[in-house]
Structure 1
Amino acid sequence: MTDDTRTARGTLDWQPLEQHPDLVAAPVAQAEVPGLLVAEIDASLADTAAFCDAYEVSLAASANCVVVQARRGETTTYAAVMVLGTDRADVNKTVRKHLGARKITFADQEHTEQATGMTSGGITPVGLPDGWPILVDERVAAEPELVIGGGVRGSKLLISGHQLAALPGAEVLDLVIPVEPSA
């Protein structure tokens, strides 16, 4: 099956999250985002490419969440950055400038897990700590259905770009590194 014939739903058994809160991290289950669907997956297939192949999900309907640590002087800001599985976020320029940081790095995995109550490889913007900016690429915000992490490696959520853009602290920006045309 080619990616252009795949959808966000793939071959997964999607169920209402409110009926299956045990499938996600506690902060995700406690977040108030109506209409979310959840599917259990093999935790060893949580990484985007492996997940999309195994469950016949379109890579363009999968959104990745990375957590960055932005610093300026004594101020440190943690933020989530959401881009499609087909794209790369421009962390060093666009994200750093938007957050007003002098230095930006990917956040430490152990700190991120402790601060969010989620597992690396499953981090999601749903249920992040109060005050964390959520930077949503405009291509993500435009998608009617997206697959994102469930806060643990063993589940995925089905959400719309509109719902992501409406999360507390969310901002929609052009976050993608432009692709150089081939010669």
Structure 2
Amino acid sequence: MTDVPDTPALRALAALGIDYEVTAHGPVRSLEEAAAERGLDPHQVLKTLVVRRGDGDFLFVLVPGDRQISWPKLREHLGVSRLSMPDKDVARDVTGYERGTITPFGATTAWPVIADRLIVSREGPVSIGGGAHGVAASLHPAQLVEVLDATVVDVTEPT
């Protein structure tokens, strides 16, 4: 394990007083490499995506690593006809994190969180970004959903 940087995400997790484990590793080039470095299966590594609902209106969507957002399902759930993903500069501005490090924990704005239902229906911990490249926190999926006050809904499809 490499040195763990001090990030807003890890400070936010520590302030919650919940059980989690931090992993830190060097650069990875794939989901499979990230999962191996964290001692997990690819479906346990979560992607945190920033989605724009409207002007100045964003949300976080947590997606298992082996899945992708189903835009029709997400639009239906939100009751909107259009969604988009912001470019990297806007994503950084609205979260405080650059792409590849985005997490709801410690973000500059506490946007709503949607967690795909598979996150809580599968066995074992999940790993979410820790606010820096190669840094993650693993915790129980039900606890993740609870502390983020996430809405759990089916919003993904296979990659």
Instruction: Note whether the superposition's TM-score is higher than 0.5.
Output: yes
> Aligned equivalents of 2:126 and 2:38: distance in 1?
14
Number of equivalences: 156
The residue aligned with 1:45 is: 28
Whose relative contact order is higher, 1 or 2, with alpha carbons under 8 Å and at least 6 apart? 2
> Aligned equivalents of 2:61 and 2:143: distance in 1?
15
**Is the contact between residue 95 and residue 109 of structure 2 (CA under 8 Å) also seen in structure 1?**
no
Which deviates more, 61-70 or 168-177? 168-177
Of 89, 92, 98, the residue aligned with 1:119 is: 98
> Aligned equivalents of 2:104 and 2:138: distance in 1?
13
Q: Which has the larger radius of gyration?
A: 1
* 1:158, distance to aligned residue in structure 2 (A): 0.6
* 1:54, distance to aligned residue in structure 2 (A): 4.9
Moved over 4 A (4+): 53-56
- Relative to the length of structure 1, the TM-score reads 0.72
Of 121, 129, 138, the residue aligned with 1:158 is: 138
Unaligned runs of 5+ in 2: none
Unaligned runs of 5+ in 1: 1-12, 14-19
The residue aligned with 1:25 is: 7
Secondary structure (helix, strand or coil) at the match of 1:97 reads helix
- Judged with a 3 Å threshold, the aligned counterparts in structure 2 of structure 1 residues 27 and 58 are, in CA distance, closer, same or farther, namely closer
Of 59, 67, 70, the residue aligned with 1:87 is: 67
* 1:163, distance to aligned residue in structure 2 (A): 1.7
Q: CA RMSD in A?
A: 2.6
